[in-house]
């Protein structure tokens, strides 16, 4: 797969990708898919962060409520976690939800940091909220809808981060069935690793 970047990564990009990576590690340690994301304002404020919870929440499309016995704390700009809530489970969608209700103008100059190239559903949410920049940890394991982002004017930066790639490749090797299920393919054949 071709690595594409439309801009040079900054030190802030590397710093915030570490936060997204820690979210991905949390997901992996919970038995889920290791994809993490962070939404950051133009001033460097973390507005929201989250990780993929599809397996943990037993959700086939990631937009259904959590089972009543699963509670996830949402991290946001508030000093303490919000009340446990029913919750979407894609990393990028989870991150947007954790940011809470924000005016459209607040999203306009934000950057979404995601450890893996965003799928079509997450790309749609990024475009819906007019997030202007997306920094991707790696896109070798899975090439999402980066071209769609670019066509719509979103700045896309691919870091090709070794840690993000290794964590995702480990998950795919260990649990090819879960990975295949996540990307809509039997047995994970769509993996580029």
Q: Which residues are part of the catalytic machinery? A: 92
| Strands, sheet with 111-116, edge to edge from the N-terminal-most edge strand | 75-76, 46-51, 36-40, 111-116, 133-138, 155-158
Residue 154 CA to residue 192 CA, distance in Å, equals 24
Q: Which of 175, 170, 113, 165 is nearest to 143 (CA)?
A: 165
**Count of CB atoms situated within 10 Å of the CB of 142:** 21
């Amino acid at each position: 797969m071709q690595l594409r970047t439309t801009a040079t990564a900054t030190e802030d990009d590397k710093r915030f990708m570490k936060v997204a990576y820690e979210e991905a590690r949390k997901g992996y340690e919970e038995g889920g898919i290791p994809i993490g994301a962070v939404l950051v304002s133009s001033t460097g404020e973390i507005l929201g962060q989250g990780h993929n919870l599809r397996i943990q929440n037993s959700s086939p499309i990631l937009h259904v409520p959590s089972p009543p016995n699963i509670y996830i704390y949402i991290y946001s700009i508030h000093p303490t976690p919000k009340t446990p809530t029913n919750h979407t489970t894609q990393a990028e969608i989870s991150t947007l939800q954790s940011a809470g209700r924000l005016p459209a103008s607040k999203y306009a100059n934000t950057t979404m940091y995601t450890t893996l190239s965003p799928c079509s559903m997450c790309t749609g949410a990024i475009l819906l909220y007019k997030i202007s920049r997306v920094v991707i940890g790696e896109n070798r394991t899975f090439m999402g809808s980066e071209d769609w982002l670019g066509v719509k004017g979103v700045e896309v930066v691919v870091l090709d981060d070794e840690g993000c790639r290794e964590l995702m490749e480990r998950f795919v090797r260990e649990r090819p069935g879960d990975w295949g299920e996540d990307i809509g393919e039997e047995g994970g054949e769509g993996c580029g690793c």
